[in-house]
Amino acid sequence: MTGWLDYAIADFVPFSAEAYWRLIENYSREVWPLHLAAFALGAVAIFLTVRPFPWSGRAVACLLAVVWAWVGWRFVGTEYAALNWAGEGFMWAFMVQAALLLVFGVIGGGLGLGAPGPARRIDLGLAVAAVALYPMVAMVSGRPVAGAEVFGIHPDPTALATLGLAALAPHGLTAMALSIIPLAWVAVSALTLIALGAPEAWVLIAALALALGGLLLRRPARV
In a domain, 41, yes or no: yes
Dist. CA 155–CA 140, nearest whole Å: 19
Residue count of the chain: 223
Segments forming the whole domain that contains residue 46:
12-222
Assess if residue 94 is contained within a domain: yes
1 located within any domain: no
pLDDT in the model for residue 217: 65
Distance CA 56, CA 110 (A): 8
Q: How many alpha carbons fall within 13 Å on the CB side of residue 171?
A: 9
* Residue 6, in any domain of the structure: no
Report pLDDT for 114: 55
Of the candidates 197, 196, 192, 133, the one whose C-alpha atom is nearest the C-alpha of residue 160 is 133
- Each residue's pLDDT, cut to its tens digit, for the chain (223 residues) gives 455 444 445 555 667 888 989 999 999 999 999 999 999 999 999 898 888 777 878 888 899 999 999 999 999 999 999 888 888 999 999 999 999 999 887 787 667 665 555 667 777 888 899 999 999 998 888 888 888 999 999 999 999 999 888 876 666 677 778 889 999 999 999 999 998 888 888 989 988 888 877 667 664 444 3
Specify the pLDDT at position 113: 61
Q: In total, how many domains does the chain have?
A: 1
Note whether residue 2 is domain-resident: no
* Residue at 4 is within a domain: no
Is residue 3 one of the residues assigned to a domain? no
Region of residue 52 (phi > 0: left; psi between -120 and 50: alpha; otherwise: beta): beta
Q: State residue 86's pLDDT score.
A: 86
57: in domain: yes
